[in-house]
Structure 1
Amino acid sequence: MTDLSATNAVTDRPGGAAITDHFAIGGYSSAESASESVREYLDSQRPATPCLALDLAVVRDRYSRLRAELPTARICYAVKANPDPRVVAELVSLGASFDVASPGEIDLCLRQGAAPESISYGNTIKKPADVAHAHRKGVRLFATDSAADLENIAENAPGSGVFCRIAVDNTGSRTPFGRKFGSSPADAALLLGRAGDLGLDPRGVSFHLGSQQLSTEAWEHGVAAAAETFRAFDPGSGPRMLNLGGGLPATYTQPTPDLAEYTGTVRATLRRHFGEQPPELLVEPGRYLVGDAGVLRSEVVLVSEDTTGRGRWVYLDAGRYNGLAETEGEAITYRLRTSRDGDPVGPVVLAGPTCDGDDVLYQHTVYELPTTLRGGDKLDVLSAGAYTASYSSVCFNGFDPLTTYCFDSAETTERA
């Protein structure tokens, strides 16, 4: 596989300017070098496609960078981003905490050695039986955003700590949450007051600014809204924890600010709204920790000319149902590399292998790939460590779920 110094061009709309790769988010030492370590592994091992390979050294690097930028924050890895047990075990060894959404994720973390007190049950939508399961396992911190859920927690996890999720402006996110989660700051104050009446510990307030958040200023909205809830209580008598949620990005085709720009905004905003005594901080990174650590390797199944004049259709053995669900609405536009990079390029429509008309990856975002591409060639989807294997279907159309291979490039370097 050739090593491209230039990128395959991609634009968000026909006729638009090409977006070039941008690696400011920081990394191993960049998203490009992180991807190269994984592609070298794939080239040497030659696993069957489609598959995801992930470098644990990159996960460590991202965790260390975030720890250095927010040294007092509790870092809770959002397990849903990539629940591979080897990823969880690596983060356990680093001292991470965990943001979970189900009993299955709780049990996964515990099996990999996570302490129950390191687990935050961050899903506001949960059955009473799920709350009881978490409590039996030793989990003592729960998210909520409704009276009904709060009652379930009080009944099935007595004495636990709760934090109330508020709804905030998700502008700048490539995959916003819409209206599904969160209460108003005023209602959050009422819920936290009610939590105390029910014998629970009204621990704090949380928000989430949407996944792949590209605006550093978004945290201003979230912290300001949370501060409104804090002000509803007398000093020292109300919430004492602020959960900043997730949203830190991986590196796709859109430029991303440096991590220090995000954390600098967070620190400045905390000073503005909380003075010199900020609350206890939590942060829930998922995509940031694992996204750039992974490469999804696929194979071109066939290339077909479109007689309507739209150019070539390139069909891959990876599609919406076996790893690339985040291409829905073309919200996430991945960087791509092929085994024929360096050859002349032309526009393509990219699609998956299934008998479903929705299994089309990119037809509005214009990708230009080598005109020499043919069946059997390899196509790598870069920065694909997050929300690929975890979104893969069980067996749609008989296609297997995405296989994940984890390795540690630092160990390989030491042996060499």
Structure 2
Amino acid sequence: MQLEKYYSDQQWKKIQNFAETKQSPFLVVDLDQVQTQFIELQNSFPKAHIYYAVKANPGREIIYKLDQLGSCFDVASIYELDKALECGIHPDRISYGNTIKKASDVEYAYQKGIRLFVTDAEADLAQIAEFAPNSKVFVRAMVESGGTADWPLSRKFGCHPDMAVDLMVKARQLGLIPFGVSFHVGSQQRDVTVWRSALGIVKQIFNTLKDQYGISLQLINLGGGFPAHYLADVDSIQSYAHEIQRYLDEHFDDQVILFLEPGRSLVGNAGVIVSEIVLIANKSAHDDKRWVYTDVGVFNGLIETLGEMIKYPIYTPKMHSAHEHSSVVLAGPTCDSTDIMYEKVPYQLPKNLSIGDRLYWLSTGAYTTSYASVEFNGYPPLKTFYLD
């Protein structure tokens, strides 16, 4: 594995020098890299408002950094909302981006000053109308991920375009402000062309509402989906932006408001999980495939390896000196048979690995600490350290 594909020499020295002072497992996040990713995204989409998806990594240090850079924030719960507000984020820069919420949560958010909500169901819309009157609402349309997203999001969220139209009409009847349409093409989306078909659906909703009901929507929320740098090569964010802007130009004028809701693409590359090998074993005397057990696993940071969907690059210093490598099974430390990260994907690691050696899981800044269990098998939540 070529470490330089992921981090510069200066970045890696900073991370590794810090890691040597701490006991594993833990996540270390380079805030300079978060800043780099944000500026790159902002420059690629100069007309868009960036709403960082707090769920990707809710660290206060990240919120502070992105606040300094002018980011807005997308929250998925009142708990994320409280954290954003405690970090000094003004309610005008926060969107309540979860379609699944209690009436009490809507009321609480409204009382805290939130005036922008998403919906995809009539019952949810009714709650917004009752407990957040006169708010702006945008509807989440269901779109396909094209089978090219490593973490699809197409079944649980969103509604059919016809229902999206009905909900915006109903929103106006209920005294709300029909504001726009959102969608999500799937997390770690590797094919930019799926945005084209999604924007075609959005255009259909816009046209139907304007032509048949006199409702002019203002917002297109392009969602997230932009990839982090894992094992598979991905196109640059500039390439994504160029193509998406071309798709927008096909259907919409310059007056439309654009939102982005990035999470993974902003913080994923900035993080490294540092782990230690606890055990190396074979399952029989004739089995030459090694099982490598580490002190970090599915339940304390690596849940996105379920189904081997997200494939993190893994580095160990012995890669530089080892003469031979072989395929391994990588598993976590807990007493649960699900705690296996990679068994089918042939990860190659040095044959001279030993118990106590460290493994570095690269590009793990997103959806690791926020997914980690609280106390499964007694293991504490994954510690996180932030480097300026």
Settle same-fold status: TM greater than 0.5: yes
Alignment pair present for 1:265 and 2:240 = no
2:40 partner SS: helix
Residue in 1 that maps onto 2:206: 230
Deviation (angstroms), 1:169 = 1.0
- Cα distance in 1 for partners of 2:59, 2:216 equals 37
Alignment pair present for 1:71 and 2:27 = no
Instruction: Specify which of 31, 40, 43 is matched with residue 14 of structure 2.
Output: 40
Deviation (angstroms), 1:341 = 1.4
With the length of structure 1 as denominator, give the TM-score of the two structures: 0.89
- Which aligned pairs between 1:211-226 and structure 2 lie closer than 5 A? 211-226=187-202
Residue in 1 that maps onto 2:175: 199
Residue in 2 that maps onto 1:245: 223
Alignment pair present for 1:283 and 2:260 = yes
Question: Amino acid of the residue matched to residue 158 of structure 2?
Answer: G
- Cα distance in 2 for partners of 1:42, 1:395 equals 28
Alignment pair present for 1:174 and 2:150 = yes
Residue in 2 that maps onto 1:325: 303
Query: Segments of 4+ in structure 1 off by > 4 A?
Result: none
- Cα distance in 1 for partners of 2:237, 2:31 equals 19
Residue in 1 that maps onto 2:161: 185
The gaps in structure 1 that reach 5 residues or longer are 1-5, 8-20, 24-30, 409-416
- Cα distance in 1 for partners of 2:224, 2:210 equals 28
Residue in 2 that maps onto 1:385: 365
1:300 partner SS: strand
Residue in 1 that maps onto 2:74: 99
- Which aligned pairs between 1:95-174 and structure 2 lie closer than 5 A? 95-171=70-146, 172-174=148-150
Is the 2:28–2:271 contact (alpha carbons within 8 Å) kept by the matching residues of 1? yes
Q: Deviations over 1:7-44 (max 9, x none)?
A: 4xxxxxxxxxxxxx895xxxxxxx3328x625633434
Question: Amino acid of the residue matched to residue 292 of structure 1?
Answer: N
Is the 1:352–1:360 contact (alpha carbons within 8 Å) kept by the matching residues of 2? yes
Question: Amino acid of the residue matched to residue 319 of structure 2?
Answer: D
Q: Deviations over 1:342-371 (max 9, x none)?
A: 212111000000000110010000011011
- Cα distance in 1 for partners of 2:194, 2:83 equals 32
Instruction: Specify which of 263, 286, 289 is matched with residue 311 of structure 1.
Output: 289
2:7 partner SS: helix
Q: Judging changes above 3 Å, is the alpha-carbon distance between structure 1 residues 163 and 267 closer, same or farther for their aligned structure 2 residues?
A: same
Alignment pair present for 1:255 and 2:255 = no
- Cα distance in 2 for partners of 1:40, 1:310 equals 37
Q: Percent identity?
A: 43
Question: Amino acid of the residue matched to residue 79 of structure 2?
Answer: G
The gaps in structure 2 that reach 5 residues or longer are none
1:61 partner SS: helix
Instruction: Specify which of 333, 336, 350 is matched with residue 370 of structure 1.
Output: 350
- Cα distance in 2 for partners of 1:74, 1:53 equals 28
Residue in 2 that maps onto 1:16: none
1:306 partner SS: coil
Instruction: Specify which of 311, 314, 325 is matched with residue 336 of structure 1.
Output: 314
Question: Amino acid of the residue matched to residue 149 of structure 1?
Answer: D
- Cα distance in 2 for partners of 1:156, 1:394 equals 33
Question: Amino acid of the residue matched to residue 226 of structure 1?
Answer: V
1:186 partner SS: helix
- Cα distance in 1 for partners of 2:155, 2:307 equals 18
1:388 partner SS: coil
Alignment pair present for 1:300 and 2:280 = no
Is the 2:139–2:167 contact (alpha carbons within 8 Å) kept by the matching residues of 1? yes
Q: Judging changes above 3 Å, is the alpha-carbon distance between structure 1 residues 169 and 310 closer, same or farther for their aligned structure 2 residues?
A: farther
The farther-off stretch of 304-313 and 256-265 is 304-313
Residue in 1 that maps onto 2:380: 400
- Cα distance in 1 for partners of 2:108, 2:310 equals 35
- Cα distance in 2 for partners of 1:361, 1:39 equals 27
Q: Deviations over 1:54-96 (max 9, x none)?
A: 0111111111011111111110000000001110111111110
- Cα distance in 2 for partners of 1:89, 1:268 equals 33
Alignment pair present for 1:358 and 2:338 = yes
1:109 partner SS: helix
Instruction: Specify which of 183, 193, 210 is matched with residue 186 of structure 2.
Output: 210
- Cα distance in 2 for partners of 1:178, 1:231 equals 23
1:390 partner SS: coil
Question: Amino acid of the residue matched to residue 56 of structure 2?
Answer: A
Question: Amino acid of the residue matched to residue 37 of structure 1?
Answer: Q
Deviation (angstroms), 1:222 = 1.3
1:282 partner SS: strand
Question: Amino acid of the residue matched to residue 41 of structure 1?
Answer: I
With the length of structure 2 as denominator, give the TM-score of the two structures: 0.95
Question: Amino acid of the residue matched to residue 67 of structure 1?
Answer: Q
- Cα distance in 2 for partners of 1:310, 1:158 equals 65
- Cα distance in 2 for partners of 1:32, 1:221 equals 34
Deviation (angstroms), 1:202 = 0.4
